[in-house]
Structure 1
Amino acid sequence: MNTDPVDVFMARVAKHAALADPARLRIVDLLTLGDFSPTELQAELGMPSNLLSHHLRTLESAGLAARHRSEADKRRSYIRLATGALEGLAPGREHGARRILFVCTRNSARSQLATALWNQVSEIPAASAGTHPADRIAPGAIDVANRHGVALADLPPRRLDDVAHGDDFVVTVCDNAHEEILNPGGIHWSVPDPLRLNTEDAFEAAFSEIARRVGGLAPRLHAA
């Protein structure tokens, strides 16, 4: 898989290292609210000036804080959150994909739901398939999709070999499928099979987990 360029990655490392200290994290928390003078930060933190100066230098070096002079009293300075300070703390759009292929064993619930949810949040095309497809989509998957206003594709379960392209970004949403195909170059979401219990709660839990995962992955991918 592609990763951030080295310089971008190292900038992230510097920010995370700076924020690992509780006092510096508290300073950044305060700066998200507004600008503070060093004296005001000392009062908020109960910290001696020399220690505060050390923390502020570290935050400035990491690109998290910036200092500017007061327009009133030129001897006074204010610390503010640097422009874009909190950008890049989470991984960025690292991977390009022509199509997302969601795979589970029977292509009757989890992979169908994942595809439908993906199509709501991303312009990258998506499809689904199964290693051993069922005859039909599970009624519980249809019901949970309807409850949440999600439109399932009007396609029956399909076999992986009939659907897969060589350049697909494969996401297995089933442990059995993942361990069967080993999914080289793709990713795996270990989502419990709602058909084991075949209850409304089980399908709701699977839907919620897949929706959370889709929401986390979509911002990480860009169309190749």
Structure 2
Amino acid sequence: MHAALGEPVRLAITDRLALGDASPGELSTQLGMPTNLLAHHLRVLEEAGLIHRGRSEGDRRRSYLRLALDDEQVARLTTPITTFDEASTERVVFVCTHNSARSQLAAAAWARVSPVPTASAGTHPAARVHPRAVQVGRRHGLHLDTTATAHLDQVVRTGDLIVAVCDNAHEELAEPADRLHWSVPNPAVVDTDAAFEEAYQQIAERVDRLAHAVRSA
């Protein structure tokens, strides 16, 4: 892992992925790097166990790269360098498709660890929060209002840091946009307590990293 991170380009890639996921195409554009050269560096990072690659739940032709944060060593080696100015980050708004699980859990987790205001929204909001999401929230001491879903047009405003916590929402939001993307699988597809718990654990870990980056500005 240390050898893989010893190359400046690969260090830049992991820094870009420290707070949010990205497709190879997005990385190529943001880093100004030819796709063939990027592919080489991504292969080295994957072989070193630093990143994972997953298929988009929306556009199945697209893949997203994320840090292997389930590995404690990776989490330690890839502490975010990028920070957000707390004075200019008025709110952190978490967005998913239905605003019924992932975005709700993310906003509730954020409220517990950061003084920066938060909200959640959906691109196609459901009528209510998913019962399993409510159960997971209660298990972790969070409160989710079962009927409090909203469309992003009703919520998002200038100054918000938007975090898309699902692939469909990320791909549906207009480009270009200053936001983060967390490729968290939709637990409602499996619809088990374990799936919702796994989604929450992924979200909570990422919330902690992002909250630290905002506080550190």
Structure 2 residue 164 is the aligned partner of structure 1 residue 179:
no
Rounded Cα–Cα distance in structure 2 between residues aligned with 1:223 and 1:117? 18
In the alignment, which residue of structure 2 is the partner of 1:199? 192
8 Å CA contact 1:116–1:153 kept in 2: the answer is no
* Higher relative contact order (Cα pairs below 8 Å, separated by 6+ residues): 2
Pick which of 181-190 and 107-116 moved more: 181-190
How high is the TM-score relative to the length of structure 1?
0.58
CA offset digits 1:136-177 (Å, max 9, x no partner): 000010011111112225651101101111221000001000
Q: How far did 1:93 drift?
A: 3.3
Question: Larger C-alpha radius of gyration, 1 or 2?
Answer: 1
Q: How many residues align?
A: 143
Instruction: Confirm or deny that 1:99 pairs with 2:91.
Output: yes
AA at the equivalent of 1:197: V
Q: Which of these residues, 103, 124, 142, is aligned with residue 134 of structure 2?
A: 142
Residues in 2 aligned to 1:90 and 1:159: alpha-carbon distance in whole angstroms: 30
Output the amino acid matched with 2:208: G
Give the aligned residue type for 1:209: Q
Q: How far apart in 1 are the matches of 2:164 and 2:112?
A: 19
Alpha-carbon distance between aligned partners in 2 of 1:211 and 1:164, rounded to the nearest angstrom: 22
Change in Cα spacing, 1:126 to 1:154, as seen in structure 2 (3 Å) is: farther
Aligned with 2:100 (options 80, 99, 108): 108
Distance in structure 2 (CA, Å) of the matches to 1:152 and 1:106: 14
| Match for residue 164 of structure 1 among 156, 163, 177 | 156
Letter in 2 for 1:91: I
The alpha-carbon deviation at position 94 of structure 1 amounts to 3.7
SS in 1 for 2:203: helix
Q: Distance in 1 between matches of 2:116 and 2:102?
A: 19
Normalised TM-score (structure 2): 0.60
- Secondary structure of 1:221 counterpart: helix
* Residues 124, 223 of structure 1: 8 Å contact kept: no
Quick one: which amino acid aligns to residue 160 of structure 2? D
C-alpha contact 1:98 1:223 (8 A) present in aligned 2: no
Cα deviation for residue 90 of structure 1 reads: 4.6
Q: How far apart, CA to CA, are the structure 1 residues paired with 2:95 and 2:80?
A: 26
Corresponding residue for 1:189? 182
Q: Which runs of 5+ in 2 are unaligned?
A: 7-78
Alignment gaps of 5+ in structure 1: 1-15, 21-88
Deviations 1:47-85 (A, max 9, x none): xxxxxxxxxxxxxxxxxxxxxxxxxxxxxxxxxxxxxxx
Pair 1:92–1:163, CA change in 2 (3 A): closer
Residues 95-134 of structure 1, C-alpha deviations (whole Å, 9 max, x = no match)? 4311000000000000000000000100000000000000
Match of 1:214 in 2: 207
| C-alpha distance in structure 2 between counterparts of 1:90 and 1:132, whole Å | 31
Can you list the C-alpha shifts for 1:8-62, whole angstroms capped at 9, x where unaligned? xxxxxxxx99x95xxxxxxxxxxxxxxxxxxxxxxxxxxxxxxxxxxxxxxxxxx
Q: Aligned pair 1:118/2:117, yes or no?
A: no
Report if aligned partners of 2:80, 2:209 keep a CA contact under 8 Å in 1: no
Aligned pairs for 1:127-138 within 5 A: 127-138=119-130
